[in-house]
Amino acid sequence: MLTLEESYTLLQVPKNASDAEIAKAFKKLALLYHPDKNPHRIEWANKAMATINVAYNTIMAHRFKDKSTVNEKVTPQKKEPKFKKEDILREDLLTQYFIQYREKAKDALYQYFQYNLYNLARRDMPANADIFKKIVVQLRRSYHGIDNLCEYTNDEEFLQHFNIFKELLFTFYKSSECLNIIDSYANILDVEAFRIYRQGDDYLLRSQKEIFYERHNRGFFKKEQAITNLVKAIQLLQLTLARFPQSSWVVESQIKLEHALSIEKYLKLFFE
């Protein structure tokens, strides 16, 4: 694990760098350390790639969770509830506020798939980059709003719903920030690791699209299909980690697996 300070140092960016500047710095280093660029020291290159991946995700995860970060501060919207520490909220109010945050987050997730922002080339287009930025702001607002609600109840059922949905949002964001750097892959280890990782990621994407996008357009939920794809995704991502622990795809596989497992918990709690 890397500290936040170490992560900024490794990516050679200041703490007040924008998200775009951090992504640019990561891509620059990734192309430099990529195994294909270092054919005579593959093991070193794989470790270097994994390290800068961890650094990038450490910074972006911190920014998502921390209200005081310089980029896209989480500011209260006009209709968002404001509470005092001594307030004791009724169960009906907790439910009402949670639903508000949840629905706003689901709208943001819908837009993510509506505009195909999982495609990094499309996301980099100026108009789409702005949409993605707004989606992240809304996901952060929902995350912190629900996190705030946790302070006003000791009820285990409420906390379970709050924490599982928070985990879903956080792992989704981390997963969306996996900036895959693909080169010619002369290294057979990375070729095979990427192949299995990509299969798992594709199944995960199919499951996500059904849960957060297609069922809303269709008007009904193909739950078994979503679960089947999710189970395949989990199996393949676990296989990547087990079979290729030294590949440069370990970090992405772990992040995607964490998100897949959070979706699994979300489905069990909210749809059963």
Band of the pLDDT at 32, cuts 50, 70, 90?
Answer: confident
* 154 and 193 co-located in one domain: no
* DSSP string computed for 150-175: GGG---HHHHHHHHHHHHHHHHHHHH
Examine residue 78 and state whether it is found in any structural domain, yes or no: no
Examine residue 83 and state whether it is found in any structural domain, yes or no: no
In contact, 182 and 121? CB cutoff 8 Å: no
Residue 44 has a pLDDT of 87
Examine residue 82 and state whether it is found in any structural domain, yes or no: no
Residues 87-96 have pLDDT tens digits of 557 888 899 9
The percentage of the chain sitting over the pLDDT mark of 90, rounded to a whole number, equals: 66
Examine residue 250 and state whether it is found in any structural domain, yes or no: yes
Q: How far is CA 28 from CA 55, 74, 102, 176, in A?
A: 14, 29, 36, 19
Examine residue 84 and state whether it is found in any structural domain, yes or no: no
Band of the pLDDT at 149, cuts 50, 70, 90?
Answer: very high
In contact, 137 and 111? CB cutoff 8 Å: no
Range in 13-22, 82-91, 159-168 with the lowest mean pLDDT: 82-91
* 220 and 243 co-located in one domain: yes
Helix (H) / strand (E) element for 104: namely helix 91-114
Residue 72 has a pLDDT of 46
List the one residue out of 71, 56, 263 whose CA is nearest residue 178: 56
Asked whether the predicted pLDDT for residue 17 surpasses 90, the reply is yes
Residues 108-126 have pLDDT tens digits of 999 999 999 999 889 989 9
Examine residue 80 and state whether it is found in any structural domain, yes or no: no
196 by Cβ neighbours in 10 Å (0-12 / 13-18 / 19+) ranks as: buried
Examine residue 86 and state whether it is found in any structural domain, yes or no: no
Range of the domain at 257: 178-272
* 109 and 186 co-located in one domain: no
* 124 and 198 co-located in one domain: no
* 169 and 188 co-located in one domain: no
* 183 and 145 co-located in one domain: no
SS3 state of residue 63 = helix
Query: For the packed helices 250-270 and 42-65, what is the interaxial angle rounded to 10 degrees?
Result: 40
Examine residue 77 and state whether it is found in any structural domain, yes or no: no
Asked whether the predicted pLDDT for residue 262 surpasses 70, the reply is yes
Asked whether the predicted pLDDT for residue 85 surpasses 60, the reply is no
Assign residue 245 a region: left if phi > 0, alpha if psi is -120 to 50, beta otherwise?
Answer: alpha
Name the residue with higher pLDDT: 259 or 83: 259
Tell me which amino acid residue 23 is.
A
In the listed set 173, 199, 232, which residue is the last one of a domain according to the structure?
173
Rounded Cα distance, 233 and 221, in Å: 19
Residue 73 has a pLDDT of 45
Residues 38-76 have pLDDT tens digits of 878 878 888 888 899 899 999 999 999 997 653 444 444
In the listed set 146, 173, 200, which residue is the last one of a domain according to the structure?
173
87: number of Cβ within 10 Å = 11
Share the mean pLDDT of the chain: 89
Residue 80 has a pLDDT of 59
* 183 and 261 co-located in one domain: yes
* Full-model pTM: 0.89
Asked whether the predicted pLDDT for residue 244 surpasses 50, the reply is yes
In the listed set 157, 173, 189, which residue is the last one of a domain according to the structure?
173
> What phi and psi values does residue 208 have, to the nearest 5 degrees?
-60, -45
Asked whether the predicted pLDDT for residue 82 surpasses 70, the reply is no
268: number of Cβ within 10 Å = 11
Question: Residue range 84-107: average pLDDT?
Answer: 84
* 165 and 182 co-located in one domain: no
* 211 and 125 co-located in one domain: no
CATH of the domain at 1: 1.10.287
Residue 124 has a pLDDT of 87
- Into how many domains does the chain fold? 3
Asked whether the predicted pLDDT for residue 182 surpasses 80, the reply is no
